A = this chain, B = another copy of it.
Amino acid sequence: MLANTVTGPSDFVARALAGERVPLARAISLIENESPEAVAVLDACFARTGKAFRIGITGPPGAGKSTLVTRLAQEYRRRGETVGIVAVDPTSPFSGGALLGDRVRMAELAGDDGIFIRSMATRGSLGGLAVHTSQACDVLDAAGFTRILIETVGVGQSELEVAQTADSTAVVLVPESGDGIQAMKAGLMEIGDLFVINKADREGAERAAYAIHTALDLRMPAGGWTPPVLSTVASQGTGVEELVDRFEEHLIHLQGHSGLEKRRRRRIEQHLEELLRARLWQDSRARIGDDVWQRGVDKLVSREWTPHRAAAELAEAARTT
């Protein structure tokens, strides 16, 4: 009985790191809620990170990402890997419904101890989604999951930042996306290491693949990797094995060209920047104090100061207090 009770903080972190589900879920909740205890959790995890292969799955709403992630997890299980899934529910108020359904569908993975699923729907102040997602992945990484799938709807800047926390990212499209690919911004074509046309049994799949290839031809070759364009029908499992093969191929490629090292260093550097930005702001705001802050706002409202003047004055106040 006692073994099932979550007790002191160090005990629960140890149990989370051992892969126990309830402490694991609690650890991620602390991160999501920006609880003061999250720092201790993350500090305990960090030394054990760096082993998992982090895979990003992004694409427009309705591309079937959630089903694809489910199939990928199953295929990875078949190959003996353990799988953490972090599904990022974007802060978009318009897609809440669809994602809810997706979570339900993922229930078919429940009951397998080698799979842990977590959805994140945070809009905290500490740097937002990308930071929390990356931290949740750190916890799963430290807990020994060998493959981490990060599912995110590729709309909006913050969601693209989430995709960039992965080692390898697949952009998932549908045949109907074909016509729009020319109009897509460079950002999307640049973040994809693999491209997947899901629901490829529908009309237009070949045209969509052709459009992606054309768009990729315009891209600068990076590190000797040519992004493959794959076809899947995730609902039937078609093409999933090959997709996993290609992810693993990309991992080996990255390891061989020190690309993995570079990507991870960049990721760590970005994470550090976000943490430092948040800390600088919190420290300075506390040092400025409410009175001085509100007087600064007063001078802006009265147009006595310009915004840049106010920012300069308050930065100085923070420094000299």
Q: Are A128 and B155 in contact (CB under 8 A)?
A: no
Interface hits, A145-202 → B, CB 8 Å: 154-160, 179-180, 182-189
Q: Are B315 and A185 in contact (CB under 8 A)?
A: no
On chain B, the residues within 8 Å of A268 by CB distance are: 297, 300-301, 307
On chain B, the residues within 8 Å of A311 by CB distance are: 272, 275-276, 279
Q: How far is the CA of A192 from the CA of B154 in the complex (A)?
A: 25
Q: Are B93 and A160 in contact (CB under 8 A)?
A: yes
Tell me whether A157 and B42 are in contact in the complex, defined as CB-CB below 8 angstroms, given that A93-B185, A96-B183, A280-B281 are known contacts: no
Q: Are B183 and A310 in contact (CB under 8 A)?
A: no
Which of A3-11, A18-26, A43-51 lies on the face that meets chain B? A43-51
Q: How far is the CA of A154 from the CA of B296 in the complex (A)?
A: 32
Q: Are B188 and A308 in contact (CB under 8 A)?
A: no
Say whether A77 faces chain B, with CB atoms less than 8 Å apart.
no
Q: Are A155 and B312 in contact (CB under 8 A)?
A: no
Say whether A226 faces chain B, with CB atoms less than 8 Å apart.
no
A270-293 near B? 1/0 per residue, CB < 8 Å: 011101110111011000000000
Give the distance to chain B from A176, nearest Cβ to Cβ, in Å: 12
Q: Are B276 and A123 in contact (CB under 8 A)?
A: no
Q: How far is the CA of A303 from the CA of B318 in the complex (A)?
A: 32
Q: How many residues of A contact B (CB 8 A)?
A: 67
Query: A interface, by DSSP: helix, strand, loop or mixed?
Result: helix
Q: Are B272 and A93 in contact (CB under 8 A)?
A: no
Q: How far is the CA of A315 from the CA of B276 in the complex (A)?
A: 7
Q: Are A276 and B156 in contact (CB under 8 A)?
A: no
Identical chains bound together, number: 2
Interface hits, A92-132 → B, CB 8 Å: 92-97, 100, 123, 128-129
Q: Are B92 and A155 in contact (CB under 8 A)?
A: yes
Say whether A90 faces chain B, with CB atoms less than 8 Å apart.
yes
On chain B, the residues within 8 Å of A257 by CB distance are: none
Tell me whether A188 and B307 are in contact in the complex, defined as CB-CB below 8 angstroms, given that A159-B156, A265-B301, A277-B281 are known contacts: no
The 10 closest A-B pairs by CB, nearest first: A156-B156, A93-B188, A97-B183, A275-B311, A93-B185, A92-B155, A91-B157, A280-B280, A96-B183, A60-B94
A-B CB contact pairs (8 Å), 24 listed: A39-B308, A43-B306, A43-B309, A46-B303, A47-B306, A90-B155, A91-B160, A92-B156, A93-B188, A93-B189, A94-B154, A94-B155, A96-B184, A123-B157, A128-B157, A129-B157, A156-B156, A264-B301, A265-B297, A268-B297, A268-B307, A272-B310, A273-B281, A275-B310
